[in-house]
Amino acid sequence: MPATVLVGLQWGDEGKGKITDFMAGMANAVVRFQGGANAGHTVEFGSSRFKFHQIPSGMLHKGVTGIIANGSVVDPEGLLSEMEGVESRGFDLSKLYISDRAHIVMPYHKQLDGAEEALRGANALGTTKRGIGPCYADKSARLGFRINELLKPDALRQKLEFVCRVKNAYASALSLDVDIDAGAIYESMLKYSGAITEHARDTTGMINSMMARGRKLLFEGAHGIMLDIDHGNYPFVTSSNTVAGDAYASSGMSPRHPIRPFGVLKAYSTRVGAGPFPTELSDTVGEHLALKGMEVGTTTGRPRRCGWLDLFAARHAIMVSGVREVALTKLDVLSGIDRLKVAVGYEYDGRKLRDYPADASTAYSVRPVYREFRGWNDQLDEGMKRYADLPQAAKTYISFIEKFLDVSARIISVGHTRDRTIVRGKISI
């Protein structure tokens, strides 16, 4: 049985949290395999709302195991406070496991994230300032700390002295307003290490053994494929691979186990932070999407930039992730717009591009080629239970997306909450 790998097909905030929660009811385990507290995944049912940053979004279902795998970067204090919040609302997190190989986001990673952004000035990336870039950079530079190191305090202390010397030298060479105190960091690590290591496991072995026993695994991607460090709009990206194939390297799952990549596509586009966004709208339609879609960053509270659906970008995201099935989200937000547009290509320098541009400066200067559709006025968030209930104009919009992307829209989401979800045919994981 393949493991389902759920990935966002745009620049994040596609509704991965909602769809993960929806599918997790059928899963034995939900695995977060990349990213960290920069993610903000919302799950809503009834009048309850949860915003997950590091905890897998599927853990509100009874009996589901949650795994934060090796490719994730863990902010221990943030994670413990998030866990406390969820547990205080009556949910059991005793089956949440953290890879002993996952890297730790240190306090100086967050400080450096902010200071480096300030140094970039007008060229800032607009990061979430959660220390993600500096933490992954240290992982690659072999200056990082992994969860298993919390178990050996003496060695931890020694290594901290060295790493903090390197970090302070770097900060002072660039005149960054950052002062890193190894002793204070060590003391704070001792405070949380017990609570974290209680959940630490060899999750690689756990995942492979679950797959071998035919358990149903759901991998929850974060951030969206256009923010992938290799395949997104570099450098306006996050610092991890977000493509479906990364589920292997970032969890240690053996490639002998097949995956089923499943995409989450929002019916229009949003982006938080800097970077190219060819279909961005700064008119009343953009305002409609922002207001009706309540497009405010889940992690940072920043307003999200809004625009038309970009199928040229989505086709690239689908190619690099092997997606054949998608959940189309936030279709209800499009109600009330007269004419809808979707980008089906880019023109650059008077020429139609065949492939998605690797270069952000090209992506900044392209002109989207649009296809127009009739909109609909019906509100979709009340009483829409079956695909047949949707207005014809919405069905035409969906059919075009399916055909253009060569995917099946298996799930249509028409509202925030679990019950506002239309499933086409029988869905299983």
What residues act catalytically? 13, 41
Instruction: Give CA separation, 383 vs 63, 291, 293, 334, 388, in Å.
Output: 31, 22, 19, 17, 12
Q: Which stretch binds ligand GDP (CB under 6 A): 36-44, 97-105, 315-323, 384-392?
A: 36-44
- Interface with Mg ion, residue 13, by CB under 5 A: yes
- Interface with ligand GDP, residue 76, by CB under 6 A: no
**Start-to-end CA span in the chain (Å):** 8
Residue whose CB is less far from ligand IMO, 271 or 335: 271
Partner from ligand GDP, ligand IMO, Mg ion, none contacting 414, C-beta within 5 to 8 A by type: ligand GDP
- Interface with ligand GDP, residue 414, by CB under 6 A: yes
Instruction: Give the pair of three-digit tokens for residue 348.
Output: 């650059």
Query: Of 92, 222, 107, 226, nearest to 163 (Cα)?
Result: 107
User: Looking at the DSSP assignment, which residues form a beta bridge with residue 345?
Assistant: 369
Binding site for ligand IMO (CB under 6 A): 8, 12-13, 38-41, 125-128, 130, 132-133, 222-224, 227, 238-239, 272-273, 298
**Among 128, 279, 298, 321, which residue interacts with Mg ion (rule: CB under 5 A)?**
298
**Among 14, 75, 100, 228, which residue interacts with ligand GDP (rule: CB under 6 A)?**
14
Residue whose CB is less far from ligand IMO, 150 or 226: 226
Residue whose CB is less far from ligand IMO, 206 or 416: 416
**Among 4, 8, 182, 314, which residue interacts with ligand GDP (rule: CB under 6 A)?**
8
Q: How far is the CB of 92 from ligand IMO (least distance, A)?
A: 24
- Contact map string, positions 307 to 336, toward ligand GDP, x by CB under 6 A: ----------------------xx-xx---
Give dist(CA 228, CA 236) in Å, integer: 9
Q: How far is the CB of 202 from ligand IMO (least distance, A)?
A: 26
Phi then psi for 201, rounded to 5 degrees?
A: -150, 170
| Residues 6+ away with beta carbon under 8 Å from 123 | none
What own/partner pairs with CB < 8 Å and gap ≥ 24 does 176-185 have?
176/112, 176/115, 176/116, 176/119, 177/115, 178/108, 178/111, 178/112, 178/115, 180/107, 180/108, 180/111, 182/157, 185/106, 185/107, 185/108, 185/160
Residue whose CB is less far from ligand GDP, 171 or 414: 414
Q: How far is the CB of 120 from ligand IMO (least distance, A)?
A: 12
Residues 238/34, Cβ–Cβ less than 8 Å = no
**Among 35, 36, 40, 134, which residue interacts with Mg ion (rule: CB under 5 A)?**
40
Residue whose CB is less far from Mg ion, 96 or 272: 272
Question: How many residues sit in the footprint of Mg ion (CB under 5 A)?
Answer: 3
Partner from ligand IMO, ligand GDP, Mg ion, none contacting 384, C-beta within 5 to 8 A by type: none
**Among 65, 298, 321, 335, which residue interacts with ligand GDP (rule: CB under 6 A)?**
298
182-197 vs 107-120: helix crossing angle, rounded to 10? 120
Q: Which stretch binds ligand GDP (CB under 6 A): 35-43, 74-82, 227-235, 241-249?
A: 35-43
Burial class (CB in 10 A: 0-12, 13-18, 19+), 122: exposed
Q: Which residue has the tokens 């915003």?
A: 51
Q: How far is the CB of 265 from ligand GDP (least distance, A)?
A: 11
Q: Which stretch binds Mg ion (CB under 5 A): 13-21, 255-263, 322-330, 417-425?
A: 13-21
Question: How many residues sit in the footprint of ligand GDP (CB under 6 A)?
Answer: 21
Residue whose CB is less far from ligand IMO, 223 or 288: 223
Task: Give the residue nearest to ligand IMO (CB).
Answer: 273
Residue whose CB is less far from ligand IMO, 101 or 223: 223
Residue whose CB is less far from ligand IMO, 10 or 65: 10
Give dist(CA 412, CA 386) in Å, integer: 9
Residues near ligand GDP (CB under 6 A):
8, 12-18, 40-42, 44, 298, 329-330, 332-333, 413-416
Residues near Mg ion (CB under 5 A):
13, 40, 298
